[in-house]
Structure 1
Amino acid sequence: MVHTWPLTLRDRELVLRPLQRRDRAAYDALRRRNAAWLRPWDATDPEHGRVQPPFATLRRWGERQARAGTMLPLGIVVDGRLRGQITAAPILYGPQRCATLGYWIDRESAGRGIVPRAAALVIDHLFAEMGIHRVEVTVRPENAASLRVVEKLHLRGEGLRRSAIHVDGAWRDHLVFAITAEEIRPAHAGRTDRRDHGGRGVLDRLLTEYPPDTRPT
């Protein structure tokens, strides 16, 4: 396993990087502007309702977990502007070697292929650099945009988890999608050395099938 933090991942105008102190105003503005857009998909606390930690708290907690290698919290930056966030957490090692991926994006930037590219960058990093074997994404059946993301990434559907996560004030069903390292490089199944996974396999496949939108932001 090779874990480096802070971490920056790039694909042309798309940059994934840790949130910084100077991002606070942009981050808070994004969350305010997209409150209604994100509400149906935001996790909530069944006891305390919708609790969004202050930016400073969120950043400190993410940094601590990231240094330990149990989380990758990355801002989605396009052409120098913060547009959303993608997080791999929890990251488990030992016999499981798996990670769960979550993400959100500014409504104005949705539908341009940014999230699939960001997810592909993170998945490739998890496989090639961190020795993770399986990446999972859970999606509410009503979330058509996120279902399109997992379709583009060729994540395998594994069924429905009933009342899996407390979202938007209630326990919600979630569909489960996953991909394993050997599905990208079958000849190297079971190996964890980064050289054996070919680096950017998921991203390369995505860009071949869905060339990125290059319209100005």
Structure 2
Amino acid sequence: MAAPGQPELRHGRVGLRLIRRSDARTLQRLLAENRDWLEPWEATNPDGLRQVPGSASMRPAVAWMLANAKAGTSVPFVITLDGRMVGQLTVSGITWGALRAANLGYWIAEEAAGHGVTTVAVALATDDLLFRRGLHRMEICIRPENAASLRIVEKLGFRPEGIRPRFIHIDGDWRDHAVFALNREEVPGGVLRRFLG
């Protein structure tokens, strides 16, 4: 699924490339530097065990992402702006067979937010998975309070499908998430092309 040597996906200043083991230290630094910015949207452990993202080595997390990529259940990317890492995007829960679907999640450093970087990254990843890798459906689940992420799916034309009550443990409690999705035939020319159109 995540073939070594895959070229970087790119549009303008924004790039997506497969995560590498050597990215662990930069990811750790970015998470630590963006602690206050990211905390309201981060998954937490419902058992109360908490490790603050960025406070420990990201090597085990990167190794886990790469293992899932090798198993074909995930495609972990880093988001770049002018070649510099500014966030991370993961397509996870990849299911083949009759479903051919996946979920997409991401985070971005505060300095890169509000400039369309995440919008372009989501479009690049969605096009890659739907058209190059052969998935049929891409889904994004967003907390209804996350106005910035809601703008991304709106700009890209993801279809709202409803609310999943108390869906994911985020910032210390079970949080509702709005569900948005796209099927391949809804964007025959690709998500990025339609967005730029």
TM-score of the pair, normalised by structure 1:
0.84
Runs of 4+ in 1 over 4 A off after TM superposition: none
Report the CA distance between 1:4 and its aligned residue. Answer: 4.8
Asked if the contact 1:49–1:169 (Cα under 8 Å) also holds between the matched residues in 2, the reply is no
Q: Distance in 2 between matches of 1:146 and 1:20?
A: 26
Structure 2 residue matching 1:59: 3-state secondary structure: helix
User: What is the letter of the counterpart of residue 205 of structure 1?
Assistant: R
Structure 1: runs of 5+ lacking an equivalent: 186-197, 209-217
Asked if the contact 2:92–2:103 (Cα under 8 Å) also holds between the matched residues in 1, the reply is yes
Structural mapping, 1:43-54, within 5 Å? 43-51=43-51, 52=53, 54=57
1:162-192 Cα offsets, whole Å, 9 max, x none, are: 101100010000100000011112xxxxxxx
Whether 1:99 and 2:75 are equivalent positions in the alignment is no
Whether 1:113 and 2:103 are equivalent positions in the alignment is no
For residue 139 of structure 1, the aligned residue among 138, 142, 148 is 142
Report the CA distance between 1:55 and its aligned residue. Answer: 1.0
Asked if the contact 2:2–2:18 (Cα under 8 Å) also holds between the matched residues in 1, the reply is no
Change (3 A) 1:60 1:4: closer
Structure 2 residue matching 1:62: 3-state secondary structure: helix
Structure 2: runs of 5+ lacking an equivalent: none
2:64 equivalent in structure 1 = 61
Change (3 A) 1:4 1:22: closer
2:196 equivalent in structure 1 = 207
Q: Distance in 1 between matches of 2:63 and 2:24?
A: 12
Aligned residues: 192
1:106-159 Cα offsets, whole Å, 9 max, x none, are: 001101001111011111111112211110000101000000010011000011
Q: Distance in 1 between matches of 2:57 and 2:96?
A: 29
Report the CA distance between 1:71 and its aligned residue. Answer: 0.4
Report the CA distance between 1:95 and its aligned residue. Answer: 1.5
For residue 157 of structure 1, the aligned residue among 147, 160, 164 is 160
Structure 2 residue matching 1:206: 3-state secondary structure: helix
Asked if the contact 1:50–1:168 (Cα under 8 Å) also holds between the matched residues in 2, the reply is no
User: What is the letter of the counterpart of residue 24 of structure 1?
Assistant: A
Asked if the contact 1:50–1:169 (Cα under 8 Å) also holds between the matched residues in 2, the reply is no
Asked if the contact 1:84–1:106 (Cα under 8 Å) also holds between the matched residues in 2, the reply is yes
Change (3 A) 1:4 1:173: closer
Q: Distance in 2 between matches of 1:110 and 1:67?
A: 30
TM-score of the pair, normalised by structure 2:
0.92
